[in-house]
Amino acid sequence: MSEKRAQILTTALRLFVTNGFHATPTSQIAKESGVATGTLFHHFKTKEELINTLYLETKEEMIQSLSIKVDEQETIKGKLRQIFFNAIHWSVAHPEHQLFYSQYSNSPFITNLTRELGYRRFQFIYDILKLGQEKEILKPINIDLMFEAIDGTLMGITKYLLTHPEKITDELCLENAFTLYWDTLKG
């Protein structure tokens, strides 16, 4: 990725999270990125393309973090526990990305195609959920519904931790949070 493109994405992330999509003109993104408006439009044809690219790249970064050491876990619960704690660590380490993800996951600015491409990146989690159901460890409910339930639970827990930073290192709090997450899933 070119340095200018990366700077545009970093600036857009900060401005979209702070000001919202409509209150962030491309001229402001270009100016605060230190590039000409023409350079911004060279990399992203429209503001909508910019936000969709940012959405997919945020998801890609998240997925890379979520998948760390998951394959090393032997049980369904262990795999989901690893994903849970990976998600918490990623969110705490990348609060702007987490806020962007939570603000724009259901936004009309994200195209259906982009949303579908984003969900495909989570396929490994869907596979774990399906295997857990086949082994009768997890609830026998629609996988999409189950995924949305755990995604919502994770977003809520993450929001709580980001607004109560002293809890991020509180092992009892984190274990209780995982129990809440696991109880959403287990059969």
Q: Could you tell me how far CA 95 lies from the centroid of its own chain?
A: 10
In this structure, the answer to whether residues 25 and 80 fall within a common structural domain is no
Q: For 125-131, what is the mean pLDDT?
A: 96
Residue 51 lies in a domain: no
In this structure, the answer to whether residues 68 and 149 fall within a common structural domain is yes
The count of structural domains within the chain is 2
Each residue of 46-64: pLDDT tens digit?
A: 999 999 999 999 999 999 9
Residue 135, judged by CB atoms within 10 A of its CB (0-12, 13-18, 19+), counts as: exposed
What is the pTM for the complete model shown? Answer: 0.89
14: left (phi over 0), alpha (psi -120 to 50) or beta: alpha
Nearest to 25 by CA among 42, 37, 43, 9: 37
Which token pair is 23? 């209150």
In this structure, the answer to whether residues 92 and 179 fall within a common structural domain is yes
Residue 186 three-state SS:
strand
The backbone torsions φ and ψ at residue 186, rounded to the nearest 5 degrees and listed phi first, read: -65, 145
Q: For 179-186, what is the mean pLDDT?
A: 94
Domain that residue 38 falls in: 1-45
In this structure, the answer to whether residues 75 and 160 fall within a common structural domain is yes
**CATH code of the domain in which 33 resides:** 1.10.10.60
Q: Residue written as tokens 């989690």? A: 125
Q: For 103-120, what is the mean pLDDT?
A: 87
In this structure, the answer to whether residues 95 and 152 fall within a common structural domain is yes
Residue 1: pLDDT above 70?
no
